[in-house]
Amino acid sequence: MKRVYLDHSATTPLDPEVLEKMLPYFTEKFGNANSMHSFGQEGAYAVDEARRKIAELIGAKPTEIYFTSGGTEADNWAIKGMAAKLRKKGNHIITSSIEHAAIIASCHQLEEFGFDVTFLPVDKTGKVNPADLVKAITDKTILVSVMLANNEIGTIQPVKELCDIAHKKGIYFHTDAVQAVGSIPVSVKDLGVDLMSFSAHKFYGPKGVGVLYIKGGTKPDKFMTGGHQERTMRGGTTNVPGVVGMAAALEKAVKHLDENYNYVKSLRDRFVKRVKEEIPYVIYNGHETDRLPQNANFAFDFIEGESILMSLDLAGIACSSGSACSSGSLEPSHVLLATGLPVEKAHGSIRFSFGRDNTVEDVDYTVDKLKEIVNKLREMSPLFCEFKGETKNV
């Protein structure tokens, strides 16, 4: 059976060239990068090189790159580390209502410790209005965190503008760039942010490794206490193969960014055009243009996203309803609800995320199957019968 992977926002396959560069650090170059001997120094050299490369690729200095176990840890560290450090200055944090669970849950945890959190609303395309940020700032605000691009609907936020507003009031700014890095150009210098999270497995690198960029002079509290790794800021034996893989994957993603952006976007655009033209009663969630090239998110009226997802899976097509990280829960997506989509339409939404390994044939196969599946499910749907004015004996 044909298999089509359209869930690149959940994770990407590891690039074989990246794996090739990682392999020696699992085998002959296995030393602990913190050991003084030559085995350790081989690892330390590779970590230094990776740090230097990653810094250069995002417009940072090597000393501003801190390796973590991924995007979730980087987000937790940014939010809780800054909150702990600045507690005496204030107890108010501002974020958006469509952040990834790593940010939302960190903020809710801080609420239990006496912090106040404002979750900024978004418009129907998923964008934060900078005027809402201006209004939300108080003299107790210590941190603003707004994601660069959303994982469910792909909407890209005006982060530079939001960051400027925070800085004018002397407030630190963090952005979760997990979905953006490797897909669109990202430079911490251009954005002006103080902290930025990103993760290797979203750009064809390995799982379990990420970065928190911390601008020089910004000093969050330690999050993982332990050994002296990461200039004493993050304890734990360094994941040398992971770090090497992250640098190799980012280097390749940035080198081919334009080409991949245009290719992936052309597949996504073909998919969106065909779905809009060939399947009635659909809503294209997210922003038309300020959007990640890989993302398409549709609400299919009258039917459940989970049923579409399962039928697509039986046809060999992998995509997701809500974000992969929260799937398994049947709660409607907080992102779609925040855009004003009614609960029943949020339940009927599916995310398709394309990658550089997909083809035009994959797109056409998916649309053909999707048409069949949506038609079949609608025929069985009492809601659709009601809509058509028919009665259905169920």
What residues are annotated to the active site? 325
Which class for 216: exposed (0-12), middle (13-18), buried (19 or more C-beta within 10 A)?
exposed
Please give the Cα distance from 293 to 295 (Å, whole number): 6
Nearest approach in angstroms of CB 151 to ligand PLP is 3
Q: How far is the CB of 135 from ligand PLP (least distance, A)?
A: 25
Residue number with the smallest Cβ distance to ligand PLP: 71
Min dist CB 101 to ligand PLP, Å, is 8
And the tokens for 340? 């004003």
Decide whether 12 or 381 has the Cβ nearer to ligand PLP. Answer: 12
Instruction: Quote the least distance from Cβ 299 to ligand PLP, whole Å.
Output: 20
298 three-class SS: strand
Helix (H/G/I), strand (E/B), else coil: 227: coil
Please, which residue, 43 or 70, has the CB nearer to ligand PLP? 70
Question: How many whole angstroms separate alpha carbon 345 and alpha carbon 303?
Answer: 8
What burial class does residue 330 get, using C-beta atoms within 10 Å of its C-beta: 0-12 exposed, 13-18 middle, 19+ buried? exposed
Residue located via tokens 């399962």:
310
Cα 65 versus chain centre, distance: 19
Residues that bind ligand PLP (CB under 6 A): 70-72, 75, 100, 102, 147, 151, 176, 178-179, 199, 210, 325
Dihedral of the CA atoms 376, 379, 382, 386 (nearest 10)?
140
Least distance to ligand PLP from the beta carbon of 300, Å?
A: 23
Residue 142: phi and psi, rounded to 5, are -115, -20
Phi, psi of 294 (to 5 degrees): -85, -10
**Half-sphere exposure of residue 280, counting CA atoms within 13 Å on the CB side?**
3
Q: How far is 39 from 37, CA to CA, in rounded Å?
A: 6
Please identify, using beta-carbon distances, which residue of 42 and 75 lies nearer to ligand PLP.
Answer: 75
CB of 196 vs ligand PLP, minimal distance in Å: 11
Of 191, 253, 218, 255, which is closest to residue 63 (Cα–Cα)? 218
Find the shortest distance in angstroms from Cβ 105 to ligand PLP: 11
Minimum separation from the CB atom of position 107 to ligand PLP (A)? 13
Closer residue to ligand PLP in complex, CB, 102/142: 102
DSSP single-letter state for residue 156: B
Which H/E stretch holds residue 173? strand 172-176
Q: Which is nearer to ligand PLP, 210 or 286 (CB)?
A: 210
Decide whether 210 or 220 has the Cβ nearer to ligand PLP: 210
**CA nearest to 213, candidates 241, 192, 232, 244:** 192
Q: Which is nearer to ligand PLP, 42 or 176 (CB)?
A: 176
DSSP 24: G
Instruction: Give 255's contacts (C-beta < 8 A, 6+ positions apart).
Output: none
Q: Which two tokens stand for residue 345?
A: 């339409």
3-class DSSP state for residue 383?
helix
Q: Which is nearer to ligand PLP, 229 or 320 (CB)?
A: 320
How would you class 299 by CB atoms within 10 Å of its CB: exposed for 0-12, middle for 13-18, buried for 19 or more?
Answer: buried
